[in-house]
Chain A
Amino acid sequence: MRNVKPLYLLSPFFIVIGVFFVMPLALIAVYSFLQPGEYGGVEWHFSWDAYTRLLFERDFDGKLTFNAGYLIIFMRSLMLAGTCTILCLLAGFPIAYHMATRPERHRGIWVLLITIPFWTNLLVRTYAWMLILRDEGLVNGLLQHVGLISQPLPLMYTPFAVGIGLLYSYLPFMVLPLYATLERFDWRLVEAAQDLYADRGQTLRRVIIPISIPGILAGCMLVFIPSIGSFLASDLLGGGKQMMIGNLIQMQFGFSRDWPLGSALSVVVMAIVMLGLMLIARKGEGTGGLV
């Protein structure tokens, strides 16, 4: 196959991705500058209206008033995704470090154990948390059984529940790239640090972590990107009360029938994602083999 032109071999890929990935995304960018159709869809009239409506509300007489509703949802998404990323890092780094320092034959098992949840159904895994957090769920049942509480704690439909769901969904996305970085780590550097009387904390802070920065950045991005656009955790565990951008976009294409607004929201999310990726491209060295 060496003599076959690479672009020829790539043509099915380019055609499929071009038509069914690039064109739909371009279409969304176009739709964000159109007006909503009466029963969903769009009216082909150019307008900034969808972007204006992200921040302002139009009265019946056409006057614009500031409306923070969508901004709050954006802020909540950023907060939840940010918190989730930090928690994933705090939990994920020790896990990846522990994995990388296991004997060779144990590492494969650890990687498999972390990988399995990554591949299993996100809807089902999120649903499992409903069984645990519900008013009649396992946590409340257990606490009531031992007599610690008499009324069920309101765990569901809180930012806490959504946060748990996000952490649970995306922890493997942090561990795997971190592990990829730490596995290649040159442990002689640790030896050298210890020869120079660095204690474990110092070795970690001044040698291991600085060298792992590319993996840390890749992991953070891989957690942050899907969690900012996440739908299921906020939908199932947050109810209507903890809406995130993903839910808001879905709503515009569902019963709100406002495709241009949904498209504009998507364009903003994509801009956030691209910004993050550019940051990584500059500072990191890729995604540690996960993608």
Chain B
Amino acid sequence: MNIKQRSMPGFGAISWSGLIFLYAPIAILILFSFNSGPLITVWQGFGTNWYSSAWNNEDLRRAMVNSLVIASGAMLFSTFIALPAAIAMHGRTFKGQGTANTLLALPLLVPEMVMAIASLSFFTLIGLNLGIGNVMIAHVVFCIPFAYSPIRARLETIPAPLGEAAADLYADPRQIFIHITLPLLMPGIISGAMLAFITSLDDFIITQMVAPPGAMTLPVYIYSMVRKGITPEINAISSLLLVVSMGFVIASVIFNRKGQS
């Protein structure tokens, strides 16, 4: 059956409008970040001055460093937790598996603000006071499902006979894991780690709640600037953050695909 018979009138137009709806605000933001004038939405000529003014802003640079440190830490911890979890969940049934499955989906289904105040209350109660370490711990929790999914999906594509063949050749389980499973899993691990990284980098609500005073991340800093009054500098930083996230998503997808072919 050909594609024509399946197509519905107007659906194509809605889809393209949908794409425009999704991308127009992003495009407008990036366009106006190159506006040379001090007005936000009145074009006064091309210029990169707002990028250099953002770069010279020391608070902003500190926020950027915080963001990168937190995202790197959250990425590492969540990947190291997600990897054994994915291996455990793959290809067998055991007691507690249902609970594990629920707990893997739940962090994505609890409203962020609820998780934010819950983390704040808990950290306050136990007196946890690790500065941006608090933020990192809160991030690890919601990064785990994102790191987990690509690894789990990748495991499904590894043929079982491969391990059996290695075992026939007297490879012990550790050797099988290091020389066969792990290299084959790598694209999934890297892809998941990247998704965890940008999820942490982009978080605002939980970060703002649990971050100690003064320890700003990039989104928290952007929010405080938006609150104070919109300046073209925000456009420049925001565009930068958008481009970084987009780059990571695309890289993550490419990595995942490369491994599959």
Count of inter-chain pairs, beta carbons less than 8 A: 271
Bound Cα distance from A158 to B219, whole angstroms = 24
**Which among A4, A119, A123 is the interface contact of B204 at CB below 8 angstroms?**
A123
Q: Does B66 contact A (CB under 8 A)?
A: no
Please name all residues of chain B whose beta carbon is closer than 8 Å to the beta carbon of A103 when the two chains form the complex.
Answer: 3
Q: Quick one: which of B194-215 are within 8 Å of A by CB?
A: 195, 198-199, 201-202, 204-205, 209
Please name all residues of chain A whose beta carbon is closer than 8 Å to the beta carbon of B100 when the two chains form the complex.
Answer: 10, 13-14
A6 closest partner in B (C-beta): B88
Please name all residues of chain A whose beta carbon is closer than 8 Å to the beta carbon of B85 when the two chains form the complex.
Answer: 9-10, 12-13
Bound Cα distance from A23 to B12, whole angstroms = 47
Task: Sample 17 A-B pairs with CB under 8 A, ordered by A number.
Answer: A9-B88, A24-B121, A95-B11, A114-B22, A125-B25, A128-B238, A132-B25, A136-B41, A171-B18, A171-B21, A204-B8, A231-B112, A231-B205, A232-B204, A259-B117, A266-B113, A291-B109
Q: Quick one: which of B101-141 are within 8 Å of A by CB?
A: 103-122, 124-125, 137-138, 140-141
Q: Bin chain B's interface residue count.
A: 35 or more
Contact pattern, B 1-36, Cβ under 8 Å of A = 1, otherwise 0: 101011111111011001101110110110010000
Q: Does B45 contact A (CB under 8 A)?
A: no
**Which among A23, A108, A130, A225 is the interface contact of B122 at CB below 8 angstroms?**
A23
Q: Does B49 contact A (CB under 8 A)?
A: no
On whether the beta carbons of B249 and A225 are closer than 8 Å, the reply is no
Please name all residues of chain B whose beta carbon is closer than 8 Å to the beta carbon of A108 when the two chains form the complex.
Answer: 257
On whether the beta carbons of B111 and A119 are closer than 8 Å, the reply is no
Q: Does B60 contact A (CB under 8 A)?
A: no
| A residues with CB within 8 A of B | 1-4, 6-10, 12-14, 16-17, 20-25, 27-28, 31, 41, 91-92, 94-95, 97-99, 101-103, 108, 110, 112-117, 119-125, 127-132, 134, 136-138, 141, 168, 171-172, 175, 187-188, 190-191, 194, 200, 204, 225-226, 228-232, 236, 245-246, 249-250, 252-253, 259, 262-263, 266, 269-270, 273, 277, 287, 291
**Which among B3, B82, B238 is the interface contact of A101 at CB below 8 angstroms?**
B3
| B residues with CB within 8 A of A | 1, 3, 5-12, 14-15, 18-19, 21-23, 25-26, 28-29, 32, 40-42, 77, 80-82, 84-85, 87-89, 92, 94, 96-97, 100, 103-122, 124-125, 137-138, 140-141, 144-145, 149, 163, 173, 177, 181, 195, 198-199, 201-202, 204-205, 209, 219, 222-223, 226, 230, 234-235, 238, 241-242, 245-246, 248-250, 253, 257
